[in-house]
Amino acid sequence: MARMTMIQAVRSAMDVSMGRDDNVVVYGEDVGFFGGVFRCTEGLQKKYGANRCFDSPINESGIIGSAIGMAAYGLRPCVEIQFADYMYPGYDQITQEAARIRYRSNNDFTVPMVVRMPTGGGIFGGQTHSQSPEALFAHVAGIKTVIPSNPYDAKGLLIASIEDDDPVMFLEPKRLYNGPFDGHHDRPIMPWSKHDAGEVPEDYYTVPIGKAAVRREGEEVTVLAYGTMVYVAETAAKETGVDAEIIDLRTILPLDLETIEASVRKTGRCVIVHEATKTCGFGAELMAVVMEGCFDHLEAEVIRVTGYDTPYPHAHEWDYFPGPARVGAALKKVMENA
């Protein structure tokens, strides 16, 4: 077993998939010769040839629109959008085309396509390199949205996404590319080589789409988190001493309703954490899921800890970011009447 960063794990997933299936092609901006601005596709062009891994014009609608055509042909394109913030020109192709082609054609055409995109903040990327647009995908019928929180899951989920017969939005939390980030931005960075989840098999394996993982079992409060926020929540639980059950959703659509419901029914409390803006963020959906499925079991208000409803501010990044102090305060608040 090797130790990998999330970048290496994502690359390994594409490498394994391209090796197993000639129909897998990889392209995007700077993806070919150079290997991507985050280096996720480094070496793939050399290994598989320029007709299976290549640079694209700076045109997200073109990248995704052409990938839809390729997928309809029978390929399995895995395209990169350089930052999630850049996906909007391709959003029409994602939501009105990729999402509905199976449905509207009654299975005559399908779109087995993966759109990879680095998401989230924490790298001083400012408002156009820090966004978390997952709710914009989850709101649309017909696409799956996956957000891994560690290298092992990233590889297994990406292979599963490439093999999936429906379009998958694969959001890679860029702050986690090189190490698990606990939200304490002023402390030394922990690399994946020192974390268990950095252990990644070099060969083929999958992690199922639509299944959450319980990162920490606990009795007092359920924390629903994904991506970067998983480690922030773990840290907050440690620092407050609250016996939290931390659920890493891994896939936000389809959502693992059963795991969420079982946990909240057990703990009777729930804190929801994400980095994206609050209003109509995915946390609103999670709160509704908890209300619909667990209302009779709740012993405290459900609280969301999220990014604020502002653009991602450059200089004030760490005031915006929902770090362990804010998550910890929420944990204490739901425990007040315990």
Partner 1 sequence: MSPKNGSDDKPLELYVPEPEFRPGDKPDFSNVTIPQAGEGERPPIDVPADDIRKLAYTIIRVMNRNGEAVGPWAGELSDERVKEGLEDMMRVRAFDARMQMAQRQGKTSFYMQCLGEEAIACAFSKALRPGDMNFPTYRQQGLLLSSDYPLVDMINQIYSNSADPLNGRQLPIMYTSKEHGFFTISGNLATQFIQGVGWAMASAIKGDTKIAASWIGDGSTAESDFHSALVFASTYRAPVVLNIVNNQWAISTYQGIARGKAATFASRALGFGIPALRVDGNDYLAVYAVSKWAADRARAGHGPTLIEHVTYRAGAHSTSDDPSAYRPKEESDAWPLGDPVERLKNYLIARGAWSEAQHVQAREMLEAQVAEAQKQAEKNGTLHDGPHSSPREMFEDVFAETPLHLRRQRQEAGV
Positions annotated as catalytic residues are 129
| Three-state SS sequence of 241-302 | CCCEEEEECCEEECCCHHHHHHHHHHHCCEEEEEEEECCCCHHHHHHHHHHHHHHHHCCCCC
Site string for partner 1, 186-225 (x = CB under 8 A): ------------------------x---------------
Q: Per CB under 8 A, does 101 bind partner 1?
A: yes
Site for partner 1 (CB under 8 A): how many residues?
A: 46
Instruction: List binders of partner 1 among 274-313 (CB under 8 A).
Output: none
* CA atoms of 37 and 31, how far apart (whole Å): 8
Site string for partner 1, 218-257 (x = CB under 8 A): -----------------------------------xxx-x
The closest alpha carbon to 130, from 121, 141, 118, 117, belongs to 121
Range 287-296 burial, b when 16+ CB lie within 10 A, else e: bebbeebbee
Q: In whole angstroms, how close is the CB of 272 to partner 1 at the nearest point? A: 17
Q: In whole angstroms, how close is the CB of 108 to partner 1 at the nearest point? A: 5
Q: Residues 3, 39, 72, 332: which binds partner 1 (CB under 8 A)?
A: 72
Instruction: List binders of partner 1 among 41-70 (CB under 8 A).
Output: 51-52, 56-57, 59, 61-62, 65-70
Query: Helix, strand or coil for residue 86?
Result: helix
260 in Cβ contact with 247 (< 8 Å): yes
Q: In whole angstroms, how close is the CB of 56 to partner 1 at the nearest point? A: 8
* CA atoms of 159 and 153, how far apart (whole Å): 10
Place of tokens 């639980």: 237
Q: In whole angstroms, how close is the CB of 258 to partner 1 at the nearest point? A: 7
The answer to whether the bond into 118 is cis (omega within 30° of 0) is no
Q: Residues 33, 34, 46, 96: which binds partner 1 (CB under 8 A)?
A: 96
* CA atoms of 318 and 28, how far apart (whole Å): 31
Q: How far apart are the two ends of the chain, measured CA to CA in Å?
A: 44
Q: Residues 14, 45, 85, 102: which binds partner 1 (CB under 8 A)?
A: 102
Residues forming contacts to partner 1 in the complex (CB under 8 A) are 25, 51-52, 56-57, 59, 61-62, 65-70, 72-75, 77, 89, 92-93, 96-97, 101-110, 141-142, 144, 164-166, 210, 253-255, 257-258
